[in-house]
Amino acid sequence: MKKSLVLGILFILPIVVYLFFASGITNFAKLPTLTKNVSEVSEWTTTSEQPVVFKNHITILGFLGGKASDKKSSALTLNEKIYKRFAEFNDFQFVMVMPSGSEAEAKMLTDELAGATGTDTKKWNFVFAEAPQIQQLFESLNTNVTLDDQLSTPYVFIIDKNKDLRGRNDDDDVGTLFGYDATSVGEINNKMVDDVKIILAEYRLALKKNTAQREK
């Protein structure tokens, strides 16, 4: 009887443990979708050689307003904590929105990032449009934050490959977390880094699953 019990435990326990962790990984690897079908910027002016699009990219979206120099500290934080850590992911990009006419400001910030930190800024994309277009893009996020009169906000947002806004719907501090305050190193470190990891892991798992299915 004891022998059968021991054998049963040895056989069943690994399966239970596997199912437990497999379930945990599945839950961990899902970042909630908060808003579907965010507007595109593919027709906007950009500093990039190619059109900038959200579709099929993991995008960190920010609204810098006309004075990018005022957001230098936040940009450096994002560059250090997020961009450098995840820029090697093939479809990862930063997209910073600015009003038309502020191209020189974007160039200065790019030079600052490259010079002060030695960053390869090729995935730092700046896009430019008139105020109504910027407002329309921001409103398509459908968040609980607003743009100021300079068309800027300290918050940055995670847009997935389907052009959906991702975030938290059970955040301990605010309930629904639409964006991440780039002026807060703590929020970037303690929340945004984890959430970017989750969404990248989600796509890696999907890629591995699709590859395995094709190889069968």
Percent of the chain with pLDDT over 90: 71
Q: How far apart are CA 136 and CA 106, in angstroms?
A: 21
At 9 the pLDDT is: 53
Residue 97 has pLDDT above 70, yes or no: yes
pLDDT digits (tens, 9 = 90+) for 174-189: 999 999 999 999 999 9
Average of per-residue pLDDT across 145-151 = 95
Contacts of 48 (CB under 8 A, 6+ apart): 125, 126
Q: How far apart are CA 77 and CA 23, in angstroms?
A: 34
Q: Which residue has the higher pLDDT, 74 or 20?
A: 74
What is the amino acid identity at position 185? Answer: V
At 204 the pLDDT is: 84
DSSP-derived letter for residue 121 is G
Helix-strand-coil split of the chain, %, nearest 5: 50, 20, 30
Looking at domain 30-215, its CATH superfamily turns out to be Glutaredoxin (3.40.30.10)
What phi-psi label fits residue 182: left (phi over 0), alpha (psi between -120 and 50 degrees) or beta?
alpha
Q: What average pLDDT does the structure give for the chain?
A: 86
Burial of 144 (0-12, 13-18, 19+ CB in 10 A): exposed
pLDDT digits (tens, 9 = 90+) for 55-68: 999 999 999 999 88
The first and second tokens of residue 132, run together, are 């109504």
